[in-house]
Amino acid sequence: MSTAADGTPIDDWIEIHANGRVTVKTGKVELGTGLMTALAQIAAEELDVAVEDIDMAGPWTGRSPDEGYTAGSRSIKDGGAAIRRAAAEARQALLELATAQLGDALTVARGVITGPGGRRSYAELMGGKPFHRTIDGRAPLKHPESYSVVGTAVRRADIARKVNGLDGFVTDIRVEGMVHARVVRPRTFGARLVDVDTSALPDGVIVVRRNDFLAVVADREEVALAARAAIRPLWTDGHPLPPMDDLFGWMRRQVTDDSDLVSWPRSGDVAAGQRTIVRDYHWPFQAHASLAPSCAVADVRPDGAVVYTAAQGVYPLQRALAQLLDLPPASIEVIHREGSGCYGHNGADDAAADAAVISQELGRPVRVQWTRFDELVWARKGPAMTTRMTAELAPKGRIAFWSADIWTPTHGGRPARPDQLIAGRLRDGLAEPEATAYIGGGRNAQVDYDIAAQRVTMRWLRKPALPGSALRGLGATANTFANECFMDELAALAEVDPVEFRRRHLTDPRALAVLDAVTQACGWGLPLPAGRGRGFAYGRYDGTGAYVATVAEVSIVDNEARVERLWIAHDCGLIVNPDGLRNQIEGNLIQSLSRALIEQVRWDAGGLLCTEWDSYPILRFTQIPPLEVILIDRPDQPPVGAGEPATITTAPAVANAIAAASGVRLRQVPLGGQLR
């Protein structure tokens, strides 16, 4: 396998300083998952240094390698593989230096090489100089069986700082001469700014208005906030939205670009006694709802710019900002700083563009802090999807034919051009472009059940009802919801236990292993108290990623489903940091449970209705059930991402449990409130 490191200089990835500390540079960003610690473990392992001796350097254009976006649960797989390769090459280079000085038969321990001629530390061997050597990908890699750092629960260095308020979030950046800005936007999209009444503004407020781009700026943050409340813009109506209660019907009536992911025709005739079953499943628009709204600081000068951002890709943002500001890309320094937990393409890029546009306008450094309104209304949404499932069930409880028709817009939309940034569209009067590529909606559209005749058709909407993009799991959430609820319905019609029904259609031993592990852990099949039910769901993320199997137990209290417990078995190959992995899985389960039960973006004719936490609630402490996480470690298998897989099976497991407990089959998310 090739990595981003192959053919590049070691010095782009690893620096060994005279004081013995090691800097490891990555193009992957910390999204709040502990990625930097996991990458440091990989580097420490391959380089034979202590993990505490490593300082991770995050993305910074011109200084860190360009690894595109940090997304798609590929950070460990790709970013980790690159660092592993770079570290192995560095170790090889150090051994060659040591051979010249110390002779053969060398041993290495914690950054010190010992041989017949004595001992030298890495720092001594390097003498503060760079490696000047290209990574050719041939340096020997350690065998996972010999790992001593990878696979252990190393503690995150950032947490020790964060408990003391010491970590530098993007919100904490202050630069000399900086002013505070708030953007002013309606709760609709495509509205034009007709007029602005500034008569009630506090003293000392600057209004930045270009076309439909409107912002208020002040030396003090509370003045900018007060100005945002006092300014009276007059907007036109904006693009009409389809009626919310007809969203899924509207989606199915749109012009679509269709493509078959699979088309394996039936062979032979339909057997006697075969039944055809058709079911529809729906998934709503959902918000990232990061705990803190997006924030960015930009200092744009005539000859260049510095931008602090929590965006997922500093180089792609650099290129988009270059067009927006009409500056050469290399003159724009984009520096990543951690933001609130990031679960996809949220408002980070747009806030950076806002700050850049205002800073260019004023010729001063500007900090833009989005409000909760800005984040909930204007950050792109996880797109709604609607699916028609069809199956033919053969008499012996086998699926003879399976098909899915999936209506979805693209789950891409990351900014490469000004019209893909809010600031660009508003400032320059540009329309939101139509999708140029269809991304993400097909994740987990295809099941890995052993069914000979299948058809899976993507029906891509050219224009979504609301601006959308990647939200944790992308299409895999809605697709797994449809697939796994449908499997349960088929099992019930076949009068086969739902787990047994899946077992009959699975052959991959790793799939069967997660299924067995979770059903054993929960005691699947044991009698439950009255009013309780259990539901199961299985998936392999994006067809080639982690295997997950989830069981939910619910009770029905006052015509409402209460989730009592969730179990999950999780196999993402080699485990780099078991505690970090558990943390990720728990987070996925809680967030996806919140999405499954209560989350949906609402709107009316006047625009979006989710404008603060009350109108877009998420689960709170007392609503969160106990979780049981079973990790399956596979040191012989490459590590794949764990950022998203555990998200996809929660909603179907809960819906299946509700059906088991109440006899009512729910086919639309959010599942809460539907039994009344």
Instruction: Write out the residues near other proteins by the rule CB under 8 A.
Output: 31-34, 155-156, 158-160, 162-169, 171-172, 174, 180, 220-223, 225, 289-293, 295, 338-343, 369, 371-372, 579-580, 583-584, 586-591, 612-614, 618, 620-622, 624, 626-627
Return the DSSP state at 167. S
Tell me whether residue 371 or residue 444 sits nearer to other proteins (CB atom).
371
Q: Which does 342 bind (CB under 5 to 8 A by kind): other proteins, ligand FES, none?
A: other proteins
Under a CB-based contact definition with an 8 Å cutoff, are residues 370 and 294 in contact? yes
Q: Which helix (H) or strand (E) holds 80?
A: none
Strands (E), 125-205: 179-183, 193-197
Q: Which does 634 bind (CB under 5 to 8 A by kind): other proteins, ligand FES, none?
A: none
Distances, alpha carbon 196 to alpha carbons 9, 212, 218, 289, 374, in Å: 54, 11, 18, 29, 19
Q: How far is the CB of 222 from ligand FES (least distance, A)?
A: 13
Using the structure block, give the residue that is written with the tokens 């570290």.
Answer: 87
Tell me whether residue 379 or residue 435 sits nearer to other proteins (CB atom).
379
Q: Which does 363 bind (CB under 5 to 8 A by kind): other proteins, ligand FES, none?
A: none
Q: How far is the CB of 287 from other proteins (least distance, A)?
A: 10
Q: Which residues bind ligand FES (CB under 6 A)?
A: 32, 291, 341
* Angstrom distance (rounded) from CA 207 to CA 223: 12
Q: What is the DSSP string of 262-288?
A: EEE---SPPPTT-EEEEEEEEE--B--
Residue type, 174: R
Tell me whether residue 96 or residue 219 sits nearer to other proteins (CB atom).
219
Under a CB-based contact definition with an 8 Å cutoff, are residues 192 and 209 in contact? no
Q: How far is the CB of 221 from other proteins (least distance, A)?
A: 5
Tell me whether residue 295 or residue 426 sits nearer to other proteins (CB atom).
295
Q: What angle is formed at CA 35 by the lines to CA 31 and CA 40, rounded to 5 degrees?
A: 145
Tell me whether residue 291 or residue 605 sits nearer to ligand FES (CB atom).
291
Using the structure block, give the residue that is written with the tokens 């170790």.
Answer: 91
Among 635, 645, 514, residue whose Cα is nearest residue 578: 635
Q: 551-570 burial by CB neighbour count: b if 16+ within 10 A, else e?
A: bbbbbbeeeebbbbebbbbb
Tell me whether residue 420 or residue 592 sits nearer to ligand FES (CB atom).
592
Q: Which does 229 bind (CB under 5 to 8 A by kind): ligand FES, other proteins, none?
A: none
436 contact partners, CB below 8 Å, separation of at least 6: none
Q: How far from chain centre, in Å, is Cα 364?
A: 33
Q: Which two tokens stand for residue 95?
A: 């051994």
Q: How far is the CB of 68 from other proteins (least distance, A)?
A: 21
Among 224, 331, 242, 342, residue whose Cα is nearest residue 294: 342
Q: How far is the CB of 613 from ligand FES (least distance, A)?
A: 8
Q: How far is the CB of 419 from other proteins (least distance, A)?
A: 29
Q: How far is the CB of 497 from other proteins (least distance, A)?
A: 30
Tell me whether residue 48 or residue 158 sits nearer to ligand FES (CB atom).
158
Tell me whether residue 497 or residue 579 sits nearer to other proteins (CB atom).
579
Q: How far is the CB of 346 from ligand FES (least distance, A)?
A: 13
670 prior amide bond cis, ω within 30: yes
* Angstrom distance (rounded) from CA 442 to CA 581: 26
Under a CB-based contact definition with an 8 Å cutoff, are residues 208 and 228 in contact? no
Q: Which does 123 bind (CB under 5 to 8 A by kind): ligand FES, other proteins, none?
A: none
Tell me whether residue 386 or residue 600 sits nearer to other proteins (CB atom).
600
Q: How far is the CB of 70 from other proteins (least distance, A)?
A: 13
Q: How far is the CB of 472 from other proteins (least distance, A)?
A: 11
Under a CB-based contact definition with an 8 Å cutoff, are residues 636 and 571 in contact? no
Under a CB-based contact definition with an 8 Å cutoff, are residues 33 and 344 in contact? no
Q: How far is the CB of 308 from ligand FES (least distance, A)?
A: 19
Tell me whether residue 30 or residue 67 sits nearer to other proteins (CB atom).
30
Reduced to 3 states (helix: H, G, I; strand: E, B; else coil), residue 88 is: helix
Q: Which does 277 bind (CB under 5 to 8 A by kind): ligand FES, other proteins, none?
A: none
Q: Which does 53 bind (CB under 5 to 8 A by kind): other proteins, ligand FES, none?
A: none
Q: How far is the CB of 155 from ligand FES (least distance, A)?
A: 16
Tell me whether residue 320 or residue 642 sits nearer to other proteins (CB atom).
642
Q: Which does 339 bind (CB under 5 to 8 A by kind): other proteins, ligand FES, none?
A: other proteins
Q: Which does 584 bind (CB under 5 to 8 A by kind): other proteins, ligand FES, none?
A: other proteins
Q: Which two tokens stand for residue 66?
A: 């360009």
Tell me whether residue 293 or residue 652 sits nearer to ligand FES (CB atom).
293
Q: Which does 600 bind (CB under 5 to 8 A by kind): ligand FES, other proteins, none?
A: none
Which value, in Å, is the radius of gyration of the alpha carbons in the chain?
A: 27
Q: Which does 626 bind (CB under 5 to 8 A by kind): other proteins, ligand FES, none?
A: other proteins
Q: Which does 622 bind (CB under 5 to 8 A by kind): ligand FES, other proteins, none?
A: other proteins
Q: Which two tokens stand for residue 461?
A: 């909407």
The pairing of strands 107-109 and 206-210 is unpaired
